[in-house]
């Protein structure tokens, strides 16, 4: 099995799908985004079993949506056999960017300290402390949510990257990840701990990849194609299964967290 990333690639995570119909629905929805047009699509399929005819249908869908199926990853022997028979490249996604050595968790750089000042849970006014006002898509009902806290991610090492993560690149870490730069649509960030992006997060983000539902995802602007926290999956914030704060012209840092089986996005440090 080859390893690496595809130039001009666009990663689509379908590992949560358990039926072919789910793959078709999710894939068609993502490929309809302007950012995916003309890209080399890289599918992450997980353990689902697909026949040659099913893979042929998926390939035809990708062509119809003006993209190209470049490769897929799978843990299914049946899907692997079908892909091989159809000459579809099978690849294992790995870090395209060399990961620097982890720093000691006792040390704190100036960058981490500055980010803490922006994204940390600084005390809010007493009446509003840790209360998140959320507007659900197409619903005027406002809910007040209290995010759950857990110290597990604070004990993990942190990986720092000062660069924009391009479409087709995959970055993973056994700790937290801080990126100084944007994460473009079609890129993928996976961390066992928290993910913090000092820029626009437009690709796939999976925090708490070992099942930690207390992990957080933070960015100056959150607009992920797909987002996961622990075992909870959601699509782009305009999807009905993902509560989202009303949009504003202000550029305010945002944070995603899990709450009772859903992923919620809140604005933080908005000066109110």
Question: Of residues 112 and 65, which shows the higher confidence score?
Answer: 65
Mean pLDDT of 237-263: 66
Return the closest-CA partner of residue 204 out of 219, 152, 213, 64. Answer: 219
3-state secondary structure string across 141-197: CEEEECCCCCCHHHHCCEEEECCCECCCCEEEECCEEEECCCECCCCEEEECCCEEE
Task: List all residues 6 or more positions away from 37 whose beta carbon is below 8 Å from its beta carbon.
Answer: 31, 65, 66, 67
> Strand, coil or helix: what is 97?
coil
DSSP state of 122: P
In this predicted structure, what is the pLDDT of residue 261?
Answer: 83
Residue 267 has pLDDT above 50, yes or no: yes
Q: Residue 135: is its pLDDT beyond 70?
A: no
Residue 91 is predicted with a pLDDT of 84
Q: Please write the tens of the pLDDT for every residue from 26-61.
A: 999 999 999 999 999 999 999 999 999 999 999 999
Dihedral pair phi/psi, residue 180, rounded to 5°: -95, 95
List beta partners, residue 25: none
Query: Domains, the chain, ranges and CATH?
Result: 2-93 (3.30.70), 110-267 (2.160.20.70)
Q: What is the DSSP string of 186-245?
A: T-EEEESS-EEEEEEE-SEEEESTTS-TT--EEEEEE--SEEEETTEEEE-TTSTTS-BP
Dist CA 252 CA 118 (whole Å): 10
The more confidently predicted of residues 178 and 235 is 178
pTM of the model: 0.77
How many angstroms separate the CA atoms of 207 and 209, rounded? Answer: 5
Which residues lie across from 263 on neighbouring strands?
258
More confident residue, 97 or 230: 230
Whether the predicted pLDDT of 204 surpasses 50: yes
Check residue 140 and give its pLDDT. Answer: 40
Share of the chain above pLDDT 90, in %: 53
In the predicted structure, residue 251 carries a pLDDT above the cut 60: yes
The whole-angstrom separation of Cα 121 and Cα 117 is 9
Give the torsion sign (CA, 22, 193, 262, 226).
Answer: negative
Q: What's the mean pLDDT in 144-171?
A: 79
- For residue 157, give both structure tokens: 């090492």
- Sequence-distant (6+) residues with CB within 8 A of 84 are 90
Give me the pLDDT at residue 78, please. 96
Average pLDDT over residues 97-104: 50
132/68: higher pLDDT? 68
Is residue 194 within 8 Å of 153, Cβ to Cβ?
A: yes
Average pLDDT across the chain, whole number: 78
Q: Is the pLDDT of residue 249 over 50?
A: yes
């Amino acid at each position: 099995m080859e390893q690496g990333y595809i130039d001009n690639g666009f990663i689509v995570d379908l590992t949560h799908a358990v039926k072919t119909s789910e793959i078709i629905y999710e894939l068609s929805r993502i490929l309809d985004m302007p950012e995916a047009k003309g890209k080399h699509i890289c599918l992450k399929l997980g353990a689902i079993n697909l026949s040659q005819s099913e893979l042929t249908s998926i390939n035809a869908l990708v062509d119809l949506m003006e993209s190209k199926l470049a490769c897929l990853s799978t843990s299914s022997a049946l899907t692997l056999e079908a892909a091989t028979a159809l000459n579809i490249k099978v690849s294992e996604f790995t870090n395209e960017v060399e990961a620097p050595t982890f720093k000691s968790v006792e040390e704190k750089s100036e960058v981490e300290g500055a980010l803490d000042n922006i994204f940390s849970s600084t005390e809010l006014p007493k009446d509003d402390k840790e209360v998140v006002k959320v507007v659900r898509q197409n619903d005027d009902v406002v809910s007040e949510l209290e995010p759950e806290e857990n110290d597990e991610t604070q004990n993990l090492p942190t990986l720092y990257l000062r660069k924009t993560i391009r479409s087709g690149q995959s970055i993973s870490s056994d700790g937290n990840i801080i990126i100084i730069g944007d994460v473009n649509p079609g890129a993928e960030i996976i961390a066992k701990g928290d993910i913090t992006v000092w820029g626009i997060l437009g690709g796939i983000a999976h925090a708490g990849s070992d099942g930690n539902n207390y992990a957080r995802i933070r960015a100056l602007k959150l607009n992920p194609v797909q987002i996961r926290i622990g075992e909870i999956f959601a699509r782009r914030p305009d999807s009905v299964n993902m509560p989202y704060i009303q949009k504003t012209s202000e550029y305010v840092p945002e944070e995603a967290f899990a709450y009772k089986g859903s992923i919620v996005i809140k604005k933080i440090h908005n000066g109110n």
